[in-house]
Structure 1
C-alpha cells in the first residue's frame, strides 16, 4: 500500500450463537443434560464450567455453525431450521442453535490472504 493511501474497509459481521440441549418426549440416552449449552463467538467455542457436551454430538453440529453465523437469505432453510437431532438415533435430545448478538471482525486479523475483489 502506498504511503498516505487509506486502507480499504475489511470488516465483516458474524452472529454469535448459543447451542443448547433441549429435550423431547423421547428419552435422552446419551450423557446430555437439558439446559447445558455452549457459545460460539467468532471462531471460539466457549463452554461454561458446569456444562458438558458430547464429542459425538459436537462433531455432528460443528459443520453447521459457520453457516449459522453468517447472514442468510430469508428463504434459506439454514436460517429457519434451528433444532438439530442427536446423531444417536435412540436419543431424544435436540440441539437448539440460537443467534445472539452480532460481532464485527477484520479480514486482516483472521487471515493472511488478501481480499480479491471481483473474483
Structure 2
C-alpha cells in the first residue's frame, strides 16, 4: 500500500574541525584544522588523518552532540548558536568546532525497517506486520 504521508525528514551534514591554540599543549593528538565530516549517517575522515576515539566516547565527548547538531533547531536554541566544544580531556587545550553544512532530505522508509504508525497503530510506511 502506498503511503499517503510524507515520510521525509532533514538532517544537516556536519564538518567538525580541531581548533588548537598556538603553542598550547595538545594531548588528544589533534592538529589545528584536522577535521571529519558527518554526512547523513556516515562519518568520513580525510585520507591519512586519524582522530582519537576518546573525543567520541569519553564523558563530555562530542558523540551526543552530533545527532542534535544535525537536526534543525529554533534560532534561539543554544544548540543553534553554540558550536565550539572543549576536548573531553580537561588537560587538553584543543576545541572542536561543529559547523552545519548542507541540509539533506531523507526518507524514513529508506533508513529504517521500523514503520511509521498512524494514531490508530496502522502501518503506513515500511514493513507490514
Q: TM-score, normalised by structure 1?
A: 0.88
CA deviation vs aligned residue, 1:35-70 (integer Å, no higher than 9, x gap): 110000111100111221110012211111110000
Unaligned residue ranges in structure 2 (runs of 5+): 121-129
Distance 2:3 2:68 in 1: 31
Instruction: Please name the residue that 2:18 is paired with.
Output: 21
User: Stretches of 4+ moved more than 3 A in 1?
Assistant: none
Alignment RMSD, CA only? Answer: 1.8
SS in 2 for 1:16: strand
Deviation at 1:106, TM superposition (A): 0.6
Distance 2:100 2:116 in 1: 27
Q: TM-score, normalised by structure 2?
A: 0.81
Instruction: Please name the residue that 2:127 is paired with.
Output: none
Unaligned residue ranges in structure 1 (runs of 5+): none
Q: Greater helix share, 1 or 2? A: 1
Query: Does 33-42 or 6-15 show the bigger shift?
Result: 6-15
Between the two proteins, the alignment pairs up a number of residues equal to: 116
CA deviation vs aligned residue, 1:69-116 (integer Å, no higher than 9, x gap): 001011111111101101111110000000001111110011122223
